[in-house]
Amino acid sequence: MNRLYLVWASICFILACSALYLYSYIPSTYLLADQEIKKLFEIEKPVEQVSEIIEVAEIDTIPTYVIPADTAQMVYSAIPEPILPDSSVDDSTQHRILLIGDSEAGGMKNVLNDYCQSNGHKLVATVEWASATSLNFAKSDTISKIIRRYRPSFVFVLFGLNEVLAKDYVTRKTLAKGFHKRLSGIPYAWIGPTNWGYDYVVSDAFQAAADSAAFFSSKHLVLPKAVDGRHPSLPGYRIWMGNVANWLQESSRWKIRMMPPTRFGYPKKYKAIVLNAADYRGY
């Protein structure tokens, strides 16, 4: 009888391992009791081979974020109380900071500039690539050239707004890893996009591609929106940056001083690089 049990146990074990092995080849992922079933490995294609896939991928373009007619019904996130930096943050460190991102980076740049100047850092340049996705940032050598030119000691990364509704996790993760290589070991803070629709996979894919504790997920924030319903308003960007600043001083992989600015409207001395993916894909 014991021998029969061992045979059945062996068969069940082999079947389970075989099922997991085959599951690892399937591009989709599945949930069991609200938990993602992990794969033994992932089959990822090089960045060069995913461009056609992502360009023809069917992405639901119907926004699932609905702005109430009476915006007073919205319960917005708030600028948090500042968290004092711990002893691991050197107050004397003055960083050369580069901001890279899509149109949300364009809205964040002046707010970030206020934080930088108030804390002794220098925002040297910003890259605002409107309508760009992770495909542009992964494949474009323009990003590498900008990094070499401005020699930042710290990089802020902020894109993904145009991919919130995407559902192809493996492809987005592959592209995000391709972009990550362009940072060439420079300390960075990778900030996930705010939600104007349901974030299916983008923030999770970007977080998986980033170093541990180097990604700030913005999915939990409810920010006041601009008239387009997608981008934050100026108060929204300030709330957003306040939350990012606390994370940078408390739990990020590379901590830097980012106390609230003593005032707003510091002189804009950085180089603003503005691109549009509709006119320039970068590859």
> What are the two backbone dihedrals, phi and then psi, of residue 193, each rounded to the nearest 5 degrees?
-70, 155
Contact 162, 175 (CB under 8 A): no
Residue 213 pLDDT exceeds 70: yes
Average pLDDT, the chain: 82
Instruction: Name every residue whose Cβ is closer than 8 Å to that of residue 161 and which is 6 or more positions away in sequence.
Output: 102, 103, 104, 193, 194, 196, 230, 231
- In the predicted model, what is the mean pLDDT of residues 96-118? 97
Other Cβ atoms within 10 Å of 148 Cβ, number: 9
- Determine the pLDDT at residue 24: 57
- In the predicted model, what is the mean pLDDT of residues 101-130? 97
- Determine the pLDDT at residue 35: 42
Confidence band, pLDDT 50/70/90 cuts, at residue 75: low
- Condensed to tens digits (0 to 9), the pLDDT of residues 43-54 reads 444 545 444 444
Contact 205, 81 (CB under 8 A): no
Domains and CATH numbers, the chain: 2-43 (no CATH), 71-276 (3.40.50.1110)
Confidence band, pLDDT 50/70/90 cuts, at residue 59: very low
Residue 34 pLDDT exceeds 50: no
Rounded Cα distance, 272 and 109, in Å? 9
Report how far Cα 93 is from the mean position of its chain's Cα atoms: 25
Residue 133 pLDDT exceeds 60: yes
- Determine the pLDDT at residue 36: 46
Sheet containing strand 271-276, strands side by side? 215-216, 188-191, 154-158, 96-101, 122-130, 271-276
> What are the two backbone dihedrals, phi and then psi, of residue 84, each rounded to the nearest 5 degrees?
-65, 140
- In the predicted model, what is the mean pLDDT of residues 201-217? 96
Confidence band, pLDDT 50/70/90 cuts, at residue 247: very high
> What are the two backbone dihedrals, phi and then psi, of residue 206, each rounded to the nearest 5 degrees?
-65, -40
Rounded Cα distance, 208 and 174, in Å? 10
Residue 175 pLDDT exceeds 80: yes
Q: Which residue has the tokens 């890279």?
A: 100
Residue 263 pLDDT exceeds 60: yes
Residue 29 pLDDT exceeds 50: no
- Determine the pLDDT at residue 63: 35
Q: Which residue has the tokens 């707003």?
A: 264
- Condensed to tens digits (0 to 9), the pLDDT of residues 224-246 reads 999 999 999 999 999 999 999 99
DSSP of 82-127 = PPPP-TTS-TT---EEEEEESHHHHHHHHHHHHHHHHTT-EEEEEE
Weakest-pLDDT range from 75-84, 172-181, 200-209 = 75-84
